[in-house]
Amino acid sequence: MPVASYTFPGQYTSLPEIAGIIKSKSLEAGLSETSIDEVECAVDEACSNVIEHAYEGEGKGEILITIDLISEGIKITITDHGKSFRPDDIADPDINAPLSKRKASGLGLFMMKKCMDQVSFDFHDGCNKLTLTKYRMPVN
């Protein structure tokens, strides 16, 4: 199916509109309600991270969201021009540790990986791209 692209200001007030589009496109892709909730959660976390970490605050850049309805489900690419990071440098959190012992960061990336079937990052030429893929059926 054709790709749809949307540009949003890097502000937390953009998140509800983004969630609505993600839900609509995930329904169109034929995902289950549980999968739709997981996709919405991952995209919300990713966009929040762009605002908080890549742009280091609201109103400092735009978020481009590209949605491709693939034959197996949905592929969402989130692009920004903020500060990049190395996802491999972020260890998975110890979710069994007491709250007082847990690190304040790293949970969002962990959640994205748990919610989505594929998560990939691409950084070059001042452009950060996060691609999130969710399949209708588990892929072996």
The domains of the chain are located at 3-135
Dihedral sign (CA 75, 120, 123, 86): positive
Q: Does the structural domain 3-135 have CATH classification 1.40.20.10? A: no
CB atoms within 10 A of CB 10: 21
CA of 87: how far to CAs of 4, 32, 109, in Å? 26, 29, 8
3-state secondary structure of 3: strand
Q: In the predicted model, what is the mean pLDDT of residues 45-60?
A: 94
3-state secondary structure of 107: helix
Q: Is the pLDDT of residue 15 over 60?
A: yes
Q: Give dist(CA 118, CA 1) in Å, integer.
A: 19
- Per-residue pLDDT of 20-32, as tens digits, reads 999 999 999 999 9
- Per-residue pLDDT of 86-115, as tens digits, reads 766 665 655 655 656 555 556 778 889 999
Which pTM does this prediction carry?
0.86
